Amino acid sequence: MAGPTEYLPKTFRPRVSTYWWLGRWSYLKFILRELSSIFIAWFVILTLLQISALKRGPADYVQLQEWLRRPILVALNALSLFFVVFHTVTWFNLAPKAMSIRVRGKPVSNLLITAPNYLAWLAISAAVAWLLLRG
């Protein structure tokens, strides 16, 4: 004879909906941040395609540039830009939380950790653009 307790679960775990992250902005922001990784992988795929086309010759390279002009690809890359910038901003804004630096016992202001990151982003982006646009 089975007693009533035998059918009770050992620990009670409420079921969480698969769409739990839609309920609150902070949850949604978390999932959007996590999804930015897909667009980072997409960037790598595109970069490898570009390098591969460059190696195969001018005709293949031009063909790839034509492909990138298609509205669907432009839309995808516009979405990518949104997500990679979202990654950058969330990454930089998280940095002060990840490393709490103290100088003479006092915590350093968040801005002192975040600002150099943004400056480096600007300077390095400008350098990359300069390298590509001068030719």
Partner 1 sequence: MGKRSNEPFLWLLFSAGGMLAAILIPIHVFLFGLAFPLGWLHGPSYQSLLELLKQPLTRLYFFVLCTLSLFHWAHRFRYTLYDGLQIKHLDELINTFCYGGAALGTVLAAYLLWRIP
The footprint of partner 1 (CB under 8 A) covers 16, 18, 21, 31, 34-38, 40-41, 43-44, 46-48, 50-52, 54-55, 58, 61-62, 65, 68-69, 73-74, 77-78, 80-81, 84-85, 87-88, 91-92, 117, 120-121, 124-125, 128-129, 131-133, 135
Q: Which residues contact 83 (CB under 8 A, 6 or more apart)?
A: 32, 35, 36, 38, 39
Distance CA 98, CA 116 (A): 15
Residue closer to partner 1 by CB (options 6, 25) is: 25
The answer to whether 3 touches 47, Cβ cutoff 8 Å, is no
Residue closer to partner 1 by CB (options 8, 131) is: 131
Residue closer to partner 1 by CB (options 8, 99) is: 99
The answer to whether 90 touches 33, Cβ cutoff 8 Å, is yes
